[in-house]
Amino acid sequence: MENLEFLKLIGSRRSCRAYLNKPVDKKDLQAILEAGMAAPSAMGAQDAFIVAVTKPELTAKLRRMNAQVMGTDTDPYYGAPVIVLVFASRTNKNGVQDGSCILENMMLAAHALGLGSCWINRENEMFDTEEGRELMRGMGLPEGLAGVGAIALGYAAKEPSPRKPRKEGYSRIIE
């Protein structure tokens, strides 16, 4: 791939907040998880865990738990058929940074494959409850993890609006 194409891909990713009721191709999902695992991690520790959930009973539970934290009865994952959760050790000072690299890699990979995605918050609060801890055990995860974030993932139901212009002075080069 030309470098320019990759930069265009980064510049055209948008958050998707409406999804088709259509399962994500398993190969594409695996490629997105691979992109997540390709992310750098502090000291190369690979401390994080990535869990892609497609099971409707479980996605329904996650939607309910997240909405509860938010204090609404709407679906915080916008009906996405896949919810990809990222966890890191509670005691890892770089857990959020590591997890953020993973989440962004996965959003860019999704975009490259023609899928929509959106970073969704509140997993920290969701999994810091007895119900959350029980859920993590059910996912086969070790004890002591915190939710870093998640992405809603699926085929976009509508075109995203154009990207907002970047603010004045956002970046600079000092020579």
Ligand X SMILES: Cc1cc2nc3c(=O)[nH]c(=O)nc-3n(C[C@H](O)[C@H](O)[C@H](O)COP(=O)(O)O)c2cc1C
Rounded least distance, CB 136 to ligand X, Å: 20
Identify which range of 9-17, 30-38, 50-58, 109-117 contacts ligand X by CB under 6 A: 9-17
Question: Residue for token digits 């770089």?
Answer: 94
Told to check if 15 binds ligand X by CB under 6 A, we report: yes
* Whole-number Cα distances in Å, 58 to 22, 55, 84: 17, 5, 12
Q: Which of 94, 97, 121, 124 is the binder for ligand X (CB under 6 A)?
A: 121
Told to check if 124 binds ligand X by CB under 6 A, we report: no
- 138-157 binders of ligand X (CB under 6 A): none
Strands laid side by side in the 116-120 sheet = 49-53, 82-89, 145-154, 116-120
Told to check if 118 binds ligand X by CB under 6 A, we report: yes
- 16-75 binders of ligand X (CB under 6 A): 17
Question: Positive or negative, the Cα torsion across 101, 164, 23, 133?
Answer: positive
